[in-house]
Each structure stands twice: as C-alpha cells, then as structure tokens.
Amino acid sequence: MSQEDHIELFILKNAVITRDLRTAFNVNRIGNTRGALEAQADSLVADYLRQVDFETLAAAERMSEFYKLFYALENDIRELIEATMLESSGNDWWKTCVPQVVRENVQKNYDREAAEGLPPRSDRLIDYTTFGELGEIVKDNWDVFSGMFSNATRNRVLRVINRLNLVRGPIAHCNFLPEEEAIRLKLAIRDWYKLME
C-alpha cells in the first residue's frame, strides 16, 4: 500500500469516526441543547447578525472559549460547595450556613426573574448566587472547607477566588479579554485546582 493510500485510508477512517461522534453527540444531546422552536428562532436573527462587523464576530468567537472555561469552573465550584455543605450540615445548610446577605440577594434575584415571568433557572438557590457570593460562602464556612485545600491558607484561597471574580467581569459583560488577562484567567483556574490537590 502506497503512502497516499495510507493517508487516504486515515482520512476516511477519521471521517467515519467524526460522523459517529456527531451522531452520538446528537442522540445524547451533548453540545446541542436546542429545541425545535429555538432552532426555528435562529433564522430570526441570522439576517441581523450579518450586519455585525467581522471583527466583532471574531472577538465573540474568541470570547466563547473563556465563557466556556468560566461556565465549567463556576458550576464545578457550586457543585463542590453544595456537596460539601450537605455532607457537613445536612439539608438545611442553605438556611443555617449561608450568610444572610447572600441569601437575601439570591431571593431578590429569584423574585426579580419570577416577576418578569421567566422560567426558574434552577431549583437550587445556589444557582442564583454570583461568583463573589460563592467566595463568601466558602469564607464563612472555612472550618468546613479548610480540609480540602492542602496546606492552603484561608487568605490564599480567597485571593484566588477574588482573582477569578475580577477576570470574570469582562467575560460576563461581553467585553474583550486581552491576552494577558486570558493568561491570568488560565493561571487562576490552575491555581484553584492545585489548591485542592
């Protein structure tokens, strides 16, 4: 078999694997959570988005990487907090362990969305917190969380959370993240997970 034949076979095998992966992703709704109605709504905005300049669309594509990183991180931290607090304080952990100011702000967020007729984003109150409020929960319950951060001080953990919260701003508010901030974000994410090693 010639080298060209090997290359052609390699390409064909990869095409089959790619097709099978796409099928599996679609069947399991991985990466594609659009319902039929939303898919139809895509056509409503397609013509308008053609008016947006190329640089803005390119920046949006670049920023989607950072949104994905932060989405995964923030939700992983929420899961960690909820699981840890449930284990240490039981089902009433939200009422007994979360600072009152956080609970009040969460209730305002929930009520504001309900008043607008929006469907609930979650049945968990922790999903209505800001990233900074997650840090407040960790800070107020340091005795519960300190054991999972290997030799890390409370101040060091809170400094990493603060750094992540600062870099979150441009991502959440649709501003471009300069390269040095992108590097800081990735280093801060690494720092967070290294603290738990």
- Greater pLDDT, 32 or 154: 154
Which pLDDT band, with edges at 50, 70 and 90, does 186 fall under?
Answer: very high
Would you state the pLDDT for residue 183?
93
pLDDT of residue 2: 84
Mean pLDDT along residues 131-158? 90
Provide the pLDDT confidence category of residue 28 given band limits of 50, 70 and 90. Answer: low
Pick 196 or 185 by higher pLDDT: 185
Cα–Cα distance for residue pair 99/106, rounded to 1 Å: 11
pLDDT in tens, 55-93: 998 999 999 999 999 999 999 999 999 999 999 999 999
How far is the C-alpha of 106 from the C-alpha of 112, rounded, in Å? 10
What pLDDT was estimated at residue 27?
63
Say which residues have a Cβ less than 8 Å from residue 16's Cβ, sequence separation at least 6: none
- Higher-pLDDT residue of 71, 196: 71
Asked whether residue 5 carries a pLDDT value surpassing 90, the answer given is no
For tokens 């992540």, name the residue.
164
Average confidence score pLDDT of the chain: 88
This prediction's pTM: 0.77
- 179: pLDDT confidence band, cut at 50, 70 and 90? very high
Q: How far is CA 43 from CA 37, 54, 103, in A?
A: 11, 19, 40
What string of DSSP letters covers 110-167?
A: HHHHHHTTPPPS-SSGGGGS-HHHHHHHHHHTHHHHGGGSTT--HHHHHHHHHHHHHH
pLDDT at 4 > cutoff 70: yes
Band of residue 175 on the pLDDT scale cut at 50, 70, 90: very high
Average pLDDT over residues 92-121: 96
The two structure tokens encoding residue 187: 């280093």
Q: What pLDDT, on a 0 to 100 scale, did the predictor assign at position 97? A: 97
pLDDT tier at 32, thresholds 50, 70, 90: low
Question: Residue 29: which pLDDT band, with cuts at 50, 70 and 90?
Answer: low
